[in-house]
Chain A
Amino acid sequence: MTDIQNKMMENAPAAAGIQKNLVLCGVGGQGTVLASKLIAAAAMEKGLQVMSAETIGMAQRGGNVFSNIRIGEGLYAPMIRKGEADLILGFEPGETVRMLPFLKKGGAVVTNLKAVKPTTASLSGSDYCGEQMVDYLKQVIPEDKLYLVDGEKLCAELGSTRCLNVVLLGAAVRTGEIGLTEEDVLAAIKRIVPARFLELNEKAFAAAK
């Protein structure tokens, strides 16, 4: 058996032919792309097949953005069907709610609390705020499957607004729903993140409890 096959045998999802489907979502500029790259790199290192897709282009300018990540065997397309995501990792509570149709029954939700209010909402005098969205999530997602992260507060404590993605990634990995360990993802962070930001990102990864 090759090394890769050995690794696959050790890993539960591949050995059982199980797929992991993850949806990351947020607003353009929040850093969903790097978070999805880190997950993919960690899964690749374990010899798993990975596919992903994300929003690129015009929609990045303040629009809603998403990444789909699929890990496992028998993949043809990078896009996830509705009702098939094991986990939604939302960088913004309204965007988390928007992606709920993709969540499978019994799937988990990790969401940032802070809303990003679009200019159109400020112009129209809309009362859009994060609390409405979080209240709704509490109604529809069982308590043990809903993980709320105060990303704004944690980033402030870390002294950087730029590490929200890694803060949320840490929280998502610790749910156990991605099928990767903290060590797997930390190793990917070490490989991919520039050395001068490594310490900050390691702290950010551990920040959300």
Chain B
Amino acid sequence: MQKEFLMGNAAIALGAIAAGVNVVAGYPGTPSTEVLETVAAHRPEQVYVEWSVNEKAAMELAAGASYTGANTLVTMKQVGLNVASDPLMSLAYLGIEGGMVVMVADDPGPISSQTEQDTRQFSIFSKLPCFDPSSVQEAYEMIQEAFATSRKYKTPVFFRPTTRICHAYSSVEVKDPSEYLTNEPSGFVKDSSRWVIFPRLSLANHKKIEERNEQLTAVFSEYRRNAFTEGASGLRIGVAAGGIGYAYAMEALATLPEEKRPSVLKVATPFPFPEELAVKFLESVDRVLVVEELDPVIERALLLITGKYHLKTEILGKMTHTLPYAGEYTADLVKTAMEGFVGAAATGEASGNAASAGASASVGTSASAGTSAAPEALALPVRPPVLCAGCPHRASFYAVKQAMKGKKTIFCGDIGCYTLGNAEPLDMCDTCLCMGAGISIAQGVWHVEPDTYCFAFVGDSTFFASAITEIVNAVYNQASLTVVILDNSTTAMTGHQPHPGTGKTMMGEVVAKVSIEGILKGIGLEFVETVDPLDQKASVDVIKRASEAPGVKAVIFKSPCVAIVKSGEPCNIDAERCIGCKKCIREIGCPAIYTEGKEVMIDRSLCTGCGLCTGLCPVQAISHGKGGAAL
């Protein structure tokens, strides 16, 4: 044993290595990304790691590897599970031979996601067991137990941390490499009665799955991470909690005098629910406060059990509006709710609503919670996320905007840094739904409004992940739209992961680049042109021609992400020449350009010297720094 200061995701990765993982696959997505990256960085011999093109591919690859007896880990964020749900739902019926842990990170808030969906619900839906860690240390140990459970029952299992576990850091006791388990895959054994899914097999396995899960409710009641701790004697109130909610609840309890501390039911396996343990807990209390982020999963399970066993215990939580459904919970919110709950018990108030103090407490991330501090007169700046200074996407959006001025257009966005193109003053993202959706949404609009110039913007990694079939669909169904591929040679938003177009794999191999242009031409597009967006004149020209050409057209704006290349010399503003019209700020909204009084300035620590601003100044007051490229 040794102690290390680890990010939650790193602890999960080291736990998987300690459990003898053989194959790790995933697709980047906040807050899950660092798990796979950490395995790759620490990779022992015989462990294969890859960034797959999307979550579905990762899930299927892991399934195949697990058929051979390998231990596999699949990593993704919660919305990635939607993409991978097709193979997973069927795999749940077939099971596996080795161990398979599906690590899905949920994002209450949401801080960096489209939805606040709860993977514990997916676990119930798919009938697969779910492990839900409440701390970084527990995550390290629990993923090893998840592997053991998966191997024992020959089924994939979910491991579901949330942002405050994934991205928290903690001192963690970790095993020495000599204590790691190893796994030698036994090899794939042909058996079509096991690996080929047919209705008859599904029916037979469905019965087995229900039996197994019933058995697991008993097994999990004995699992040490599900725990019932009795509170102060004579006090018939309890708190049930899981995930980071448990951590907040325990911190709130620590502030109470001992004689006021409620009993605690810690739920580490929200499915199958530890029923026998929960019954013991519920029989010992008259009233329960449930603390859990996202959906009321523990709350519903407790309500079901009170019904099944005819218990009179009152359950307070989201469904009683004692705590909110939406948004991230804060330590403050939980403390307020706890004080209301314990206070109501002390004064003998019978109504459940007496504990609803927490409902009025504000929900939000810590970053936004503090705005009430300053007096109203002191306006704190709003800081929406923006495209970086020098980001080539800004130049791409600006070129399309210039080219299509005055025309009836729709600009369908997608998932990635370029979603930020929606911000003023660019305002170049009219829709955004999910990975790859922009192309088919543009197609849908075009079929109804064929007089609209329909554009779909898609990044290079998203193109490979889920845009190709959409483009095929648009071509096949005779749509007219322009696909704009923003190729910055990386997966930027999640921290610069390689993808098929980069010519590198997660194992560090240099491989042939998969050509976006080649794919588009292969699909049958006649108009495919590649241009550097920083060459605005050429870019505007290409977009004008593309928009007027028939059918499905593609323009590839190719320029690397500024975070992966060395910056050029910053641009300069000639204060003598500058007339203070602020066109540079109004038109492109670059964070490196700001005003101080009436003067327009360039922040030299931010400017990368891309020079987009130089071309639009009406009096040519902005010049490239020395060595800057003149266009």
Identify the A interface with B (CB < 8 A).
4, 27-29, 37, 40-41, 44, 48-66, 68, 74, 76-82, 94, 97-102, 117-123, 125-126, 128, 132-133, 136, 161
A123–B164 touching, CB < 8 Å: no
B370–A101 touching, CB < 8 Å: yes
Other than the given A41-B5, A63-B385, 18 more pairs (CB < 8 A) read A51-B136, A53-B168, A56-B30, A56-B112, A57-B112, A57-B494, A62-B385, A62-B386, A76-B248, A79-B248, A79-B330, A99-B370, A99-B373, A102-B366, A118-B386, A120-B383, A121-B594, A133-B378
The stretch from B78-86, B585-593, B614-622 touching chain A is B585-593
* A66: chain B residues within 8 A (beta carbon): 366-367
Contact of A56 among B31, B250, B589 (CB under 8 A): B31
Identify the B interface with A (CB < 8 A).
3, 5, 30-31, 111-112, 134-136, 164, 167-171, 244, 246-248, 250-251, 254, 330-332, 335, 366-367, 369-375, 378-388, 417, 420, 424-425, 493-494, 582, 585-586, 589-591, 593-596, 604-606
| A58, closest chain B residue (CB) | B112
A118–B381 touching, CB < 8 Å: yes
B612 to chain A, nearest CB (A): 14
A63–B332 touching, CB < 8 Å: no
A98–B167 touching, CB < 8 Å: no
Contact of A97 among B168, B332, B374 (CB under 8 A): B374
Contact (A94, B369) CB under 8 Å given A50-B170, A61-B388: no
Contact of B381 among A57, A61, A128 (CB under 8 A): A128
B385–A59 touching, CB < 8 Å: yes
A100–B373 touching, CB < 8 Å: yes
A82–B332 touching, CB < 8 Å: yes
A136 to chain B, nearest CB (A): 6
B503 to chain A, nearest CB (A): 26
* B381: chain A residues within 8 A (beta carbon): 94, 117-118, 120-121, 126, 128
B115 to chain A, nearest CB (A): 14
B372–A53 touching, CB < 8 Å: no
A122–B585 touching, CB < 8 Å: yes
* B375: chain A residues within 8 A (beta carbon): 136
- Can you sample 10 A-B contacts with CB below 8 Å? A4-B3, A40-B5, A50-B171, A58-B112, A63-B384, A76-B246, A81-B335, A119-B591, A120-B381, A126-B381
* A98: chain B residues within 8 A (beta carbon): 367, 370-371, 373-374, 380
| A59, closest chain B residue (CB) | B385
Contact of A77 among B112, B164, B171, B590 (CB under 8 A): B164
| A36, closest chain B residue (CB) | B169
A79–B366 touching, CB < 8 Å: yes
Query: Would you list the 7 A-B pairs with minimal beta carbon distance, nearest first?
Result: A57-B112, A77-B247, A57-B30, A78-B168, A161-B605, A61-B385, A76-B247
Cα-based distance from A81 to B330 in the complex (angstroms): 8
Cα-based distance from A29 to B383 in the complex (angstroms): 13
B250–A136 touching, CB < 8 Å: no
| A68, closest chain B residue (CB) | B366
Contact of A118 among B331, B372, B591 (CB under 8 A): B591
A49–B171 touching, CB < 8 Å: yes
* A136: chain B residues within 8 A (beta carbon): 374-375, 378
A57–B370 touching, CB < 8 Å: no
B67 to chain A, nearest CB (A): 34
A40–B169 touching, CB < 8 Å: yes
* B591: chain A residues within 8 A (beta carbon): 62, 118-119
* A40: chain B residues within 8 A (beta carbon): 5, 169
A185 to chain B, nearest CB (A): 14
Contact (A120, B247) CB under 8 Å given A57-B31, A58-B112, A62-B591: no
B166 to chain A, nearest CB (A): 9
Cα-based distance from A154 to B373 in the complex (angstroms): 29
| A115, closest chain B residue (CB) | B381
A51–B168 touching, CB < 8 Å: yes
Question: Which of A28, A44, A82 is most buried by chain B, counting CB atoms within 10 A of its CB?
Answer: A82
Cα-based distance from A60 to B387 in the complex (angstroms): 10
A101–B369 touching, CB < 8 Å: yes
Question: Which of B244, B382, B383 is most buried by chain A, counting CB atoms within 10 A of its CB?
Answer: B383
| B335, closest chain A residue (CB) | A81
Contact of B380 among A29, A54, A94, A102 (CB under 8 A): A94
B484 to chain A, nearest CB (A): 20
| B590, closest chain A residue (CB) | A119
* A27: chain B residues within 8 A (beta carbon): 383
B593–A122 touching, CB < 8 Å: yes
* A123: chain B residues within 8 A (beta carbon): 424-425, 585-586, 589
Cα-based distance from A37 to B417 in the complex (angstroms): 26
Cα-based distance from A49 to B424 in the complex (angstroms): 44
Cα-based distance from A194 to B561 in the complex (angstroms): 24
A54–B383 touching, CB < 8 Å: no
B244–A77 touching, CB < 8 Å: yes
Cα-based distance from A62 to B388 in the complex (angstroms): 7
B383–A79 touching, CB < 8 Å: no
* A122: chain B residues within 8 A (beta carbon): 582, 585, 593-595
B213 to chain A, nearest CB (A): 30
B343 to chain A, nearest CB (A): 18
Cα-based distance from A77 to B329 in the complex (angstroms): 12
* B582: chain A residues within 8 A (beta carbon): 122
Cα-based distance from A44 to B3 in the complex (angstroms): 9
* A77: chain B residues within 8 A (beta carbon): 135, 164, 244, 247-248, 250-251, 331
| A79, closest chain B residue (CB) | B331
* A161: chain B residues within 8 A (beta carbon): 604-605
Contact (A100, B374) CB under 8 Å given A64-B367, A77-B251, A118-B591: yes
Cα-based distance from A74 to B255 in the complex (angstroms): 11
B371–A119 touching, CB < 8 Å: no
B332–A117 touching, CB < 8 Å: no
Cα-based distance from A28 to B369 in the complex (angstroms): 18
B447 to chain A, nearest CB (A): 32
* A82: chain B residues within 8 A (beta carbon): 332, 369-370
Contact (A51, B169) CB under 8 Å given A61-B388, A77-B251: yes
| B494, closest chain A residue (CB) | A57
B264 to chain A, nearest CB (A): 12
* A54: chain B residues within 8 A (beta carbon): 167, 169
Cα-based distance from A50 to B171 in the complex (angstroms): 6
Contact of A62 among B250, B379, B383 (CB under 8 A): B383
Question: Which of B134, B254, B366 is most buried by chain A, counting CB atoms within 10 A of its CB?
Answer: B366
Contact (A78, B170) CB under 8 Å given A64-B383, A97-B373: yes
Contact (A119, B589) CB under 8 Å given A57-B31, A78-B168, A102-B366: yes
A59–B335 touching, CB < 8 Å: no
B85 to chain A, nearest CB (A): 23
A117–B595 touching, CB < 8 Å: yes
Contact (A63, B254) CB under 8 Å given A123-B589, A136-B374: no
A181 to chain B, nearest CB (A): 19
